[in-house]
Structure formats: structure tokens, C-alpha cells
Structure 1
Amino acid sequence: MASSGPADVSGIDYVEVHRGGTVAQPTRIDIVLVKPLPLPHAALTGDNIALTGGVRFPAPGVEPVVGAEPGGTQVSRYTVTVPGGQPTDFSTYRLAIVEGPGSDTPPDFIDPRLSAVDFSFAVDCAADGDCAPSCPGLPEAAPPDPHFDYRTRDWEGFRRLMLDRMSVLVPGFREDDPVDLTTTIVEALAFRADQQSYTLDWIGTEAFLDTARTRASVTRHARLLDYTPGEGASARTFVSLSLTPGAASKDGYRLPAGTPVLPRSEALAPVVPAADYPAVLASKPVVFETLADLWLWRWRNDIALHTWGDERCTLPAGSTAATLVDGSEGSGPLQPGDFLLLVETAAPDTGRAQDVDPGHRHVVRLTRVTPVQDVLAPGALLDIEWDASDALPFDLPVSAQVPQPSGPAQRVVCAAARGNVVLAEHGATLPPPSHLNLPPSAGEALAPRLSPPAPQPGAAWRPVVSGGIGPLSRIAQHGPADPGPPSARALTAVDAARCLPEITLHDAFASWTVRRDLLASGRFARDFVVETGPDGRPQLRFGDGTHGLAPTVGDSLGVSGRFGTGPVGNLGPDALGHVVLPDADRRVPVSSVTNPVAASGGAAPEEDAAVRVAAPEAFRRQERAVTPADYAEAARRFPGVADAVAVSRWTGAWQTVIVHVDRQGGAGVDAAFRTGLLAHLESFRLAGFDVAVREARAIPLDISLAVCAEPGELRSEVGRRVRAALSPAGSHGTPGFFHPDRFGFGTALYLSVLLAAVLAVPGVQSVTPLVFQRFGRLALGELDRGVIRPAPTEVLELRDDPSFPERGRLRISTGGGR
């Protein structure tokens, strides 16, 4: 453009076309001058703008008013508006500044050579070709560099790419010379790039639950979703021992905790000397170890059940109490917490021991032991009781009358109790327990060890546990919220998700403890985590100095643990037969060792595929209590809770959530249970909320029925059947209609359902309800409506105990029959 000339002469520098979105919208054309013009010469109108050109459509007209953009006292930019509704084509148009309509001469202040410009209304439209003009005479472009394939991931690919690049940078480079230094360096770099590529691929693969291949990665992803995969569990069972009959011992024999129990073998005696134990372990047998000390007493080999003079005595299914003959004479008396085996010793129909039912064996844990007397049978007796969860699952005949080929029937004792019982768990401790008094060299070949044995500078120490006779034992952990003491049934119920490996590390100062994770470990806590390494062996992970202590470089840690887990430990009954005792105790008169019931609870690690399916759904399980319904749901997860209802109350200082609890079996909410439930709810409670536990409000019932027996039926027997069918205790191990677990919070009682239960009793011809209401209150028409509805925090109750009619009364009058 020209930058010199008269001060009051200018021209068109360029134009900008701003098209409307549609043909109906106006188009704006901005005219930019080469240099500004003074205002007296800058006045333009639509008559000074001439648009020409167009092939399909003629040039459009413009509005008469032309906008000006002044810069002080000068104008450098004009805006011309083309009204909408005037279509244009793709041809070239010409815009010129003229003196007036019909004139081709520009004004005096416009340079004639810069008074017009060619443009197109469709310059922004898509085109297939490049608008840049070709410029002959320019040098040809250099050839492209060798193509770099970003998908290259192996040594051969990296080597090929680098050699191709060298051939471009170094003319005459010979890539076929294997002894060339450059080729050697290229191959070394390709090797390192291959390693880095594998690392990146491994990180990308392990970063997602669906693609992770290592067990540790799968477990970590699942834990992020609040899902704890089962890593396996060790089986549990009860071991029963008997001493050789003879003179009673006043001292007994102590069987220490951790005593190994071996599978039955014809080549071994009941007592295996500790000196032979390492040789037995070399064959990697299924070993169990006792979990508590046990004192062995001869009188506990077989303890008679007292029948109180009943010739045909049976402990019915559901029993939680019995009477024993106390033969202790003050030595080794039974105490609460002891395990007791109830076993059938003779068949009740034949009286022979070989015909006993092997399923009639049941282990209970005593909760109460009370000395009693029978005036008709002198001697010391004991009333024993056990928890309802250990209730007898079958009818156990205690004494029976067995018919004889000739003469009267013979009375046969069919059952007994055995008290030398202890809980045992699958796994063998290595190195062997110290109470076996083995020399230090014994069992060294089977002792576990860490590889590498000590941390090295500059790298995280992730040692692998090797040795042992199998995988690490996974031990059931009972949380602080578990009610105690646990029953025999609870002790044998193993939850794989709550099991931890049984392993301990020792340094020069203290022991290291295994944890599920290190989130709650302090910076000085000697904690570690056991994970499954890529090769399937247990791998240890220590803290980082913030969450858990990190071992010092050069520290040597000793390792001890128990080995043996999985379903291989689920042995059948009588599969164990030997106990390992120190050489000093090898003459302990143990006559038999066995597991009277099958071992259970042994589980293999949860499959990765199963974890991938279950973990993404874990977030649907509410782990925080926000609403009262959340608190009730959390309370139902606590062992022993049948139902729960929560209500929120403002106590004047903060919000309190009152949780009403209905325990299983109608048990009361005692202090121990309340403490355990509050500890359980603490992990769900929101900050600023208080939690209180209340017992369910029981609503006793008053029911009276008139029952008509069928002809030929004994009316008294029919009445007994009806009462047995309705009473909470039921009959033959079957709960009755009014069992506490049948009615939860707000559960209504319908008269039609009650009458249907009565009519289902054999021998009942008809039934007529006489009283159907709450106990101790005036009737409110419940009999006419046929339903009794409790409040949401109330539970209906009918205990049918004449001593406590205020807990529900059931009256039955029987007619008809005979």
C-alpha cells in the first residue's frame, strides 16, 4: 500500500465480509482505508457505494446509511450493510467508492487505483482445493524422515527404528556390521526401551480391575470399592481325647495350646514323640493345632447323663440343658467355657455300639454349671446349660428299652458326654512350637525364610516368604463387636473375608504384626501386609515411614508362622488320630485321639473372576448410616439381631438415633450385648449424632380358643397338640406359631392365620376364637376386625408361661372327641 501522498487522500486497504447465518439475515461489509481521512471529507452514504458483479444473482443493494468509525477527528473504517433477502452466488463481486449514483469516478479524497476491490460473498464456504497459488521456481521439499511407529513395543522394533534413523543422519552408515560400536549402543538402547515399554504396559494393565492380572492389584482395586476378597481360610474342628482307664489322677495332664494333631495312620501310635515330628512334616501332611490349653482328666472320658429315673429318656432336638453325673471328686470339675461332646454310644433299637448313628455327635460350649442332688439317686450331679446357638440339632436317646428274644426288655444306656474336647485349627507352626522342646537344628529344612533376607539401599523391600509345608494359614479374626464368649457353633463358623495370615516377624528389638492394611498404622508401628506375589507366593509389604515403619537397610528379620489352609483341611469325622507331645510327656496315657465332627470352614482364595463381578457391586452396600433406616439396617447385620427399628430424636443438645432391637429367640438386651452393638454401630455413625440402644417394646397377647376334637380323638391329647403347635417352644425341634422370631417390629397378627395353624393340627375338627386382644387392656374390636396391629416400635409376644401371664397368655378349652 502507498504510504505517501496528499494528507487528505486515501484508498481501500481491504474489506471484511460478515455474512448472516441465513439469506434472510443482513450481511455486513467493513471497509478499511489505507489511512484515516479528516471528517469534513469522510462523509459517505449508500449512494457512494457501488456493488457490481454476480453470475446467477445480481449485485445486491446496500442501505443508504453508511456507518463510520471515527478515530478522534478522522475516519479509518466504514460499515456497509446489505439488507437480508438478497441472495448471492459464488462469483466475484466488486465494491467501489464513487461520487454518486450512476458514476464510475471516485471522490476527490479517494485514490482512483485504490477506489475498488474484488471480493466474494462465499469466501468462507467449504472447498475441495487449496486456494494458495502455485509459485514456480521454489526449491523442492526435502524427503520425509523415516516413519516412526509409536506402536513399537519390542526390542526388534526399537532396534529397527533407531538404525533407520542413523542411516538418515550418518550417510554411509552400515547397519549390517554387528561389531560396530554404534550398532552395539543402538541394541543396548533398544533393550532398555523394551524394558521401559514392558513397565508401561504392565502399569497400564494393572491400573484397572478388568485388566489386572496380579492378585495384589485385583485385591487393591476391590478394597477401593469397600469389597474385601477372600484370600482363603483354615478349617476348624474339635478334637476329643481319651486317657487310658486306670487309677484316677488328681493332677491331670496339661495339653498346651499349639499341640499338633495328625491325620490317622496305622503306622503311628496315639502319641507321637516330638523327635519324630520333623520327619512326619517332611511328607507335608494335613496338620491341625489346638487353640487353647486343655487339662485331660480320666473321669471326662465318658460322663454319664442322668435320667432322673426315666427308663426311656431322650434329649429332644433344641435342648440347651442336661444333667450329668459328676465323677470329678473335686479334680478337674466342669466349668463355663468348657467344650462338651454329646454322642450316641449305642443304637436305641438294638443296643449295639456298632449300630450307632455317626451323625448323632454334637459339641456344645457350657455357659452354666450348677451342682444339684437327686434324693432318689445319691451322688453328685451337675446341671449344665449351653447357648441357644448350640442347641441340640437332633433327638438324642439317653436310655432305651431294647426288646430281647426272650424275657423282659433290657434297659440300655444310649448316650454319654465327653469332656476332654478342645478346638483345633488347620496349620502347622514353623519353626515347631517351643513347648515341644525340639533341638534348634530340628526342622530347619522346613523353616520359613525371607527372600531377599534383608532390605537393600535404593529399593523398596518386598521379600517373598518361601519354605513351609504349604500356603500360609488364614486364621479367623473375631472383631471387638462380636458378642462373647462365642459358642461352639460360632467358633467353627469361619468368614474368609475376616481371616488374616498367621505369620510373625522378629527383629532385634520387637515383633512385627500382620495387618489387613497400613492405613491406621502409625509411623513407628511395626506392621506389615501380606499380599500374593506374581508367582503365587506370599509377599510382604512394609510401611513408608508415615503409615507403618520401614525396615532399616541391612536389618535381618526372623520369620515364624503357621502353614496349611484351604479346602484340603475340611476333613471328615474321625480323620485325625494322633497327638504330638514332647519326649518328656510321651508316656502320657492317651488312648485315643479323634475329631468327632467334620472339620469345616476351609476355603480357597476367591477367584479373580468372581472378585471382578462382585467388587463393582460392593458400593451398593451402605457403609454409612445417614437416615434412621440406615441405622436399622446396620443393626440387623450384628450377630443375634432378628429385627431393628430406628427413630431420630432431638435431645436438646444434639440429634440422637434410638435403635430398638429385637433379639433372636426373644432374648433380652443385656449390658454385654448393648456394648457390642454400640461398638458395631460406631463405624456407621455420623459425626454429631448420638446412638442409643433400646430393647423392643413387647406387647403381650391374650388369646382364648375353643377347640373341638374329631370323633374318636382323645380331647386332652388334641389340646396338648394345639398348645405345642402354638407355644413358642414348639415340638420336636420345630418352633411354635408364637416363636419370638416370627414377629418383628410392626408385624400384625391376623386371626385367620392363627385359626389356620390350629386347624392344621391333627385331630382338630373346628376352632372358635373367644378372646383375641392385648393382655391387660380392654378389647378394642380386635376380634371383630380379625387383626391385632402393633406400633412400628412394638413386637407382639405370647410366651405361654403360667408363671408370667403378663408376657402373653394362651387359654385352650377342648371339647368333642372322647
Structure 2
Amino acid sequence: MTPAAPGPEGRGTPDGPGGHRRALAAAKGLNGIDGIEAADPDPAEGTVVLRVRLLGAVPQRLTTAHLRIDTEPGARPPRVLAVRAEAERPPGDDAEGCLEVVLDRPCDPAAACHLALVEPGADGRPGREPLRGFDSRLHSAAFGPGADPDSRVPGPRAPAPAPPLDYLAKDYRSFLGLMLDRLSLTSPAWRERHAPDLGVTLAELLAHTADRLSYYQDAVATEAYLATARRRISVRRHARLVDYRLHEGCNARAFVAVEVDREPVPAWRADDVVLLTSYDGAPPPGRALRWEELPQRAVDGGHCFEPLPADPAAPLDLTPAHNLIRIHDWGERPHVLPAGATSAVLVDDDGTGSRWLRLRASDLLLLEEAAGPRTGRPGDADPAHRHVVRIARVRRDRDEVLDTDLLEVRWPAEDALPFPLHVCAVGPAPERRPLPDVGVARGNVLAVDHGARVEEPLGPVPAAAHPPRPGDRYGPADDEPPVGPFRPALSRPDVVHAEPPPGPAPCGCPHPAAALLRRDPRRALPAVLLTGPDARWRAAPDLLAAGPDDRAFVVETDDERVSWLRFGDGRSGRRPTAGTPFTARYRIGAGPAGNVGADRIVHLALRPTATDRDLPVRARNPLPAAGGTPPEECSAARAAAPVAFRAVRERAVVAGDYAELARRAGGDRVRQAAADLVWTGSWYEAVVALDPRASAARDCGCPAGGAGGARAEAEVTAALERARRLGHDLRVTAAAEVPVELELTVCVRPEHVCARVAQALREEFSAAVLPGGRLGRFHPDLWGFGDAVEIGDLLAAAQAVPGVDSAEVTVLRRWGEPDRGALAAGFLAIGPYEVARLDAARPRGGRFALVAKGGR
């Protein structure tokens, strides 16, 4: 038996706990509980028998409804199964009445239980009022391991002391230790710490979950700011909010010259052809490879290049006549195409008198040195003397003297020949034999882009697990099923980012070949195309300007170079329909890996869709591939993004802003720009004057050439219209040219020929490009807005000409206007929006007079 409070030593004695109260209650004739003893649980049934000693006799007709057991909040009290008067008393027990109460289970060891004798309630359950004839203080008593001998009324226990909480706990170990410490205080009887225990397992699961939540909270706080973000996608999104693009690099481009023995029948399409660099185990060049027979290392090793046509389904015009094209030498030995040449005459005769060249505008043409100009041997050719041009105009001609059909080709000035190309040469003495075909041209040139093609299914778009509520702002339309989260990842890393090919010039001419190799990685787009049952979806840099029906998506690349696809929400970009299956077609290849050297692309492979796959074919890249750029580092974006919007002006407010934006929009065509805000009486008008470079007005090789200045004005006007301030009108004009009349009198030294010195002076004060690349004194690129014509500068230039002994400016004024004192002032004043011009070869270009005396 386990004694309960109060024990036998305090039964009705003044010395025991509550003894005085018992004596007073007995004197008044009130009954009460004198003590409770709990027996050990029955091992078979698990029941417990309580022996309850009373101060008086046992009440008649006592039932279980007269007994109520209370315990602490949160603990489950035992249930009373039976109550009866005790039949036999232990020897020496002088209690007047005893009860035996049978419980279904023992009391919770960590909580005290109270047994009370009460009046039944109206529902037949134990109530709260003490049993009739019982003292209100002594009608209940505590029992169990946690019983307080002085406690007679059940009530909440004193709260356990709170354990010291470690608010720095942020990982699994610290969370687990904190939970076990707490459990040691709340459940002191539970001391198990072995891993197989269920309680320990639950604590470990909670610690693991807390660790993940803690990491997520830290990650959210870290990725919420550009300065602390570590994930590449977070940095990209933060930078885009301040109009800065974190670029993912750019792939490389190259030119490949193809030689075929005959024309493929039917012609190969650009989609059927893949160019490859050499790889381990590759066969010797000279025959087209079959794509399905290529080893995986040839496709995945960054060896693949694909043609870059405007239409991938367009046929490639490959003909044996373009393998080697002779450049016409007009019967001269030697003959050289000078540096800066923008045209060449090709021999359009196969020896039978029939024309066979099919070169057209927009075709690429390779000009190269095929043999050494001194020896005529191919091995002595200079590999640096190779240049690719884009044909802008083709004209057929004929040399009646040599009875040869010719084809004259022109290309833009941007593709001007950077070196002198020897067409034919003369061998060394004493033979002095002619060396023909030292410099040749080659057609069948393809512009190729680095990257290997991959196709993979992305699966159907999942449906939403829970349908949207009627009040959802961005819920789908009623006729579309709700869409679940759909953010697929491409299985292959290092997706190619390629810059779109440049468009045609404003005059309609094709872009120069040099423009293909100039790359801006911030304009590069991922080479990913999604096809579904309804239409194609194309990659976009972002969805900020996308409409609700635009089939666009964003490719976001993480730190492991895995690409994730993000679609629109129905407002900014179209949202895909649930159940729609997508197939992704994309290309892979790291940017710098495509920068292969010259003559490294030597194989041509044909896909299964191609025909005539046994045709002998040879390929090579005469120039190194260029443009492959690695992805931008996140640290660089974090440093540059916050100030990028201040570094580039996007809006014009004052006159200086208009001038700055005009210079930027004009690019190489505009040397400088000036602007002013003119009050018209009702509003301001921004007047922008442009000073175009002289090179901008040169012939670009097309019938519309020579309109460089007009094109610059159109481009600047379009750019300023987007940037002008509201309420400002805009007018873009060319600079006001001031033709100058200059008369110079010089004295020639006796030992120099007067005519030669005069010719040198006329060249010095001309607007032409002099031999050696030097510019004449009045070349347009040397004069800007407001540049006054200084007499001192003119005299210094004249004195620098060999043979001039002395010089004097006798006339200096605006052409066609009276003298306004420029000689006396020492300079001819030019207005802030005017430019001085002196070019006697142009109409209204000014006048230059020279009076030369002396010499011989």
C-alpha cells in the first residue's frame, strides 16, 4: 500500500497536519475525509483501489456520482469504477468509517489528484457542492505521488520554472539540446535519450524542421537585399529593378568557308547542317559526317557550331563555282587591292565563256592571301591576310581587252580591307616570272553560331491542387482550368545565350560582316524555344512589358548554371493552360569555349533530315571565332547596379541632356552635337544640331549610299522622341555650315620649286585625306561647333610646309559676306551652333586662294 496525505500520524490529532480543523469539524458533527491510502495497481487489470478513511460514518446509498476526481490542467484524471464501504478494517485502525474506491488506472506520476465527495448534479454527474453533512474544507483530499498533505481544494500547481531559452540557437544541434532541456523540466520522469526511443525521434524531427525553417528565414532575409544576396537569380532580379541587366555571357561566332565538289540535290537547309571542330577519334576531313553516328563526346564537348541564317528552313546556296574565285588583275603585273578598298572585280568565266558566279547582295565573301607574294608558294601565305566582307552591291561587267566576263562587288566601308591584298605578283630575279592568284576570293561562306542543339519534353502543365477563391485577383479565366506551380528546369546546364543578328541599315543595306563579330552580352538572349500544341513560346529578357496574350517566358540561370523557366501570370505574359505539354529546344555550350582558333572548324555533319549525305565536302574557318564571353560575376553586378542608372542618362530635361543623348544615339556617325531650348511664345522647343563625321557620308555600297548624315538625323530624332521632356517640341537639324574664304600669300625659298610648294599648300589646306592617313587642315572631322578660324594656326600650318619662307593671310571672312574685321582681330568668329567649312571642290564649300612668290 502506498500511503497518501494525510497519513496515520496526523489522523485527528492536534499535532498532525490539519488536525485542529478535524477536531472542530467532529465537534460540530460534520463528516470529512481523514486520509487516503492508495494500493498498488492490479497487474492483471491495471485498476487501483483507494482506501478512504472518514471522520464519521459512511453515508448511506453512496454511488460513483458522489465522487469527483480532479487533476492538473492538461492531465487526464482516472475514472471511478466502483465505491463501497470497507468490510474489514486493519488491526489498530480506529477510523469510524472507511470507503473503498476502485479507479481504472493510477494517477499521473507527475500530477497530483484530488478525490472529493460531492452532491450529484442535475445530469447525474458529480457536481461541485460538498456532500450533505461534510465539511466544505475536508470533503476532498489529495492522493498520488505529487500529493500535498496540506492541500484540500484542487487548484493549479505552481508553474514550473521556465528553462533558460537560448535565442541564438539556429542549427540542428542547438535546437535539439533546447528541446531536450525543456522536456527534462516538463516531464522529469522521462529520461530516455537513446535514438530508437520514440520521444527522441520526435524531438529530432522537430529539431530538423526547425533547422530548415531557420535556414529559410536567414535565406529570405539575406536574399531580400542586393548588397547581401548570394544566389544568382536573386541578384539578377534585384539588378533588373534598377534597370541593370546581369548578363549570362555570350556565345562565339565565326565564319566558315565550305567547298563542295557538286551542288547538293536538293539543297541543304540551314537546319540540317552542323559544323564541328576536330575531336578524339574523328575521321579525316573531306566527307560529310552523319549526325546519328557521331559519338557523344563530339556533341557534348563544345565542338558544335550551327549556321546563322535569317530563316533556318532556307536552303544554303553552295556551288563549286564559289570554292575559288579569281580576282581580275586587268593584265597588270603586279596588282594590289589597297588597304581600305571597298570593291573588287571578280572573274566570272569558267573558261568556256559562260558566266557561272551566283553571288548576290548580302552574301559573305572571303578575301585571302592564298600564296606568298614573293615566292608564290601556299605555305608562305600570311594567315593574318584574311578578311570577310558582306556584299552590298553586285554589277556585271566585261573586259573587252582581255575578253573576260567580270562581276564587280562592293561592300560597306565598315568592311573595308584592313591590309593590302596582292592579287598577282612577280617572282624574284632573274626569272621575274608572274605569280598569279596570290590573292583570291572565296564564296560559300557561312556565319556560324556556337552551341549544340538539345530537345527534351517538359511534361504537361500541372493543375492547381486547390481551385482559386472567387475573390482571387489573378485567378484564371472561367473557361480555363486552374494552373498549379509550373517552373520547370532544363536538364542540361550551360544554356547558350546568343545576341540576335544585327538588322539591316536604315537605308535597307544588309549589316556589314564586321557587325556579326561585335558582341554585346547584355543583349544576348537564351537560345531556348518552347513548342506546344497551340503555338511557340519564345524567351524574353523579362516580362515587364509583356501583354496578357504574349507567349513569352524568362530563363533564369542559377549558380550551378541550371536554367529555370518562369512564365507569366496572365497580366504580364500569358499563363500556360493546365495540361499543355511543352517540348524545349535549346542549345548548350559555355561562352568562352567557342573561341576556337583559325582552321579549327574542319568537319560538316548532316542531320537525318538532310538528303545527298554522301557528298564530299570540306570546311574551315579562315578567322578565329570571337565573341565568347563568360557570365558576369554577381560581385560585379552588386557593385555596378546601384549606380548604373546614374551613369547612363535616359531622360532629357535641360539643353545639355539633349546634346548628350544625341551624341550617344548618333554613335560613330555623329562627331558632336549641340542643343538649345528656344521659347516659341507658348512652349519650349529643343533644337538639336548635329555635326556628322565625314565618314558617315561615304558611300555604303548600295544605291542609297551617301545619305549617312540623313540617316544619322533620323536615328537621333527617333531616340530623342523617347527621351524628351513632356511639353518640349523637338527639332533635329544638321549643323549650320559656314563657308570660309581664305587667301594666303607665301614666299617660297629660292632652292624650292614654287609649283610644288603651292601644290603642297593646297593639299595642306584642303578637306581631303592626305597620303599616310593624315587629314587636311579643313577636313570636316577637325572642326566642331564654335571653333574659330585662328590666323595663328593657319600661319603655323603654312610654315610647316617644306619650302615656305614666310606666309601672310590677306583675306579671311565668311564666303559671300563683307569683311567684319577678322584680320584685325586675329580670328574669324564662328557661332556656337555653326561649323567652319572650306572645301572648294564642293558647291558653296568656300574659297581658297593662294599667291605664291619666289622659288624657281
Same fold (TM over 0.5): yes
1:745 pairs with 2:770: no
Q: In the TM superposition, what is the alpha-carbon distance from 1:747 to its structure 2 partner?
A: 3.4
SS at match of 1:683: helix
d(CA) in 2 for partners of 1:250, 1:768: 73
Among candidates 301, 316, 340, match of residue 323 of structure 2: 301
1:795 pairs with 2:835: yes
Matched ranges for 1:59-70 at <5 A: none
Among candidates 425, 443, 453, match of residue 449 of structure 2: 425
Question: Which amino acid is 1:559 matched to?
Answer: A
**Aligned 8 A contact 1:481 1:676 in 2:** no
Question: Which amino acid is 2:769 matched to?
Answer: A
Matched ranges for 1:256-295 at <5 A: 256=270, 259-264=273-278, 267-276=283-292, 278-279=294-295, 281-282=298-299, 284-292=301-309, 294-295=316-317
Matched ranges for 1:459-498 at <5 A: 460-467=485-492, 470-476=494-500, 478=502, 485-498=510-523
Q: In the TM superposition, what is the alpha-carbon distance from 1:516 to its structure 2 partner?
A: 0.4
- The equivalent of 2:658 in structure 1 is 631
**Aligned 8 A contact 2:246 2:637 in 1:** yes
1:584 pairs with 2:623: no
d(CA) in 1 for partners of 2:709, 2:195: 85
User: How has the CA–CA distance of structure 1 residues 179 and 382 changed in structure 2, closer, same or farther, with 3 Å as cutoff?
Assistant: closer
1:226 pairs with 2:264: no
d(CA) in 1 for partners of 2:374, 2:226: 60
Aligned residue-pair number: 653
Among candidates 390, 408, 413, match of residue 365 of structure 1: 390
Among candidates 233, 241, 253, match of residue 258 of structure 2: 241
**Range that drifts further, 485-494 or 639-648:** 639-648
SS at match of 2:732: strand
Q: In the TM superposition, what is the alpha-carbon distance from 1:234 to its structure 2 partner?
A: 1.1
Q: In the TM superposition, what is the alpha-carbon distance from 1:759 to its structure 2 partner?
A: 5.2
Q: In the TM superposition, what is the alpha-carbon distance from 1:787 to its structure 2 partner?
A: 3.5
Question: Which amino acid is 1:417 matched to?
Answer: A
- The equivalent of 2:163 in structure 1 is 146
d(CA) in 2 for partners of 1:763, 1:316: 31
User: How has the CA–CA distance of structure 1 residues 666 and 546 changed in structure 2, closer, same or farther, with 3 Å as cutoff?
Assistant: closer
Among candidates 327, 337, 342, match of residue 362 of structure 2: 337
User: How has the CA–CA distance of structure 1 residues 150 and 751 changed in structure 2, closer, same or farther, with 3 Å as cutoff?
Assistant: farther
SS at match of 1:162: helix
Question: Which amino acid is 1:256 matched to?
Answer: A
- The equivalent of 1:325 in structure 2 is 347
Which consecutive residues of structure 1, in runs of 5 or more, have no partner in the other structure? 1-140, 431-446
Q: In the TM superposition, what is the alpha-carbon distance from 1:696 to its structure 2 partner?
A: 2.6
User: How has the CA–CA distance of structure 1 residues 785 and 321 changed in structure 2, closer, same or farther, with 3 Å as cutoff?
Assistant: farther
Q: In the TM superposition, what is the alpha-carbon distance from 1:532 to its structure 2 partner?
A: 1.2
Matched ranges for 1:707-722 at <5 A: none
Among candidates 200, 213, 220, match of residue 230 of structure 2: 213
Deviation per CA, 1:705-762, whole angstroms, max 9, x where unpaired? 5667777666666666555565432324455444433333333443444554555566
Q: In the TM superposition, what is the alpha-carbon distance from 1:530 to its structure 2 partner?
A: 0.8
d(CA) in 2 for partners of 1:305, 1:718: 39
Q: In the TM superposition, what is the alpha-carbon distance from 1:344 to its structure 2 partner?
A: 2.4
Question: Which amino acid is 2:546 matched to?
Answer: S
Among candidates 179, 182, 198, match of residue 215 of structure 2: 198
Q: In the TM superposition, what is the alpha-carbon distance from 1:610 to its structure 2 partner?
A: 1.7
Question: Which amino acid is 1:334 matched to?
Answer: L
Deviation per CA, 1:173-216, whole angstroms, max 9, x where unpaired? 43636566554443333222211111111111112222211111
d(CA) in 2 for partners of 1:800, 1:399: 38
d(CA) in 2 for partners of 1:680, 1:505: 33
- The equivalent of 2:336 in structure 1 is 314
d(CA) in 2 for partners of 1:144, 1:712: 117
Q: In the TM superposition, what is the alpha-carbon distance from 1:518 to its structure 2 partner?
A: 0.6
**Range that drifts further, 556-565 or 165-174:** 165-174
Q: In the TM superposition, what is the alpha-carbon distance from 1:218 to its structure 2 partner?
A: 1.4
User: How has the CA–CA distance of structure 1 residues 691 and 595 changed in structure 2, closer, same or farther, with 3 Å as cutoff?
Assistant: farther
d(CA) in 2 for partners of 1:230, 1:728: 43
1:524 pairs with 2:549: yes
- The equivalent of 2:719 in structure 1 is 680
**Aligned 8 A contact 1:299 1:327 in 2:** no
**Aligned 8 A contact 2:160 2:186 in 1:** no
State the TM-score, normalizing by the size of structure 2: 0.68
Matched ranges for 1:384-783 at <5 A: 384-406=409-431, 410=434, 412-430=436-454, 447-448=455-456, 450=458, 454-455=461-462, 457=464, 460-467=485-492, 470-476=494-500, 478=502, 485-581=510-606, 584-588=611-615, 590=617, 592-620=618-646, 621-638=648-665, 639=667, 640-649=669-678, 655-664=684-693, 665-667=695-697, 668=707, 673-705=712-744, 726-757=766-797, 768-769=808-809, 771-783=811-823
**Aligned 8 A contact 1:729 1:736 in 2:** yes
Aligned-residue Cα RMSD (Å) equals 3.6
d(CA) in 1 for partners of 2:333, 2:802: 28
d(CA) in 1 for partners of 2:590, 2:691: 37
Which consecutive residues of structure 2, in runs of 5 or more, have no partner in the other structure? 1-157, 310-314, 466-483, 698-706
Q: In the TM superposition, what is the alpha-carbon distance from 1:417 to its structure 2 partner?
A: 2.5
Deviation per CA, 1:489-543, whole angstroms, max 9, x where unpaired? 1222110111001111112211111000011112232211111124321111111
User: How has the CA–CA distance of structure 1 residues 224 and 481 changed in structure 2, closer, same or farther, with 3 Å as cutoff?
Assistant: farther
SS at match of 1:146: coil
Q: In the TM superposition, what is the alpha-carbon distance from 1:365 to its structure 2 partner?
A: 1.8
Question: Which amino acid is 1:220 matched to?
Answer: R
**Aligned 8 A contact 1:234 1:564 in 2:** yes
State the TM-score, normalizing by the size of structure 1: 0.71
Q: In the TM superposition, what is the alpha-carbon distance from 1:624 to its structure 2 partner?
A: 1.6
1:380 pairs with 2:396: no
**Aligned 8 A contact 1:335 1:369 in 2:** yes
d(CA) in 2 for partners of 1:509, 1:747: 63
Q: In the TM superposition, what is the alpha-carbon distance from 1:307 to its structure 2 partner?
A: 4.4
d(CA) in 2 for partners of 1:271, 1:222: 49
d(CA) in 1 for partners of 2:589, 2:320: 32
Q: In the TM superposition, what is the alpha-carbon distance from 1:241 to its structure 2 partner?
A: 2.3
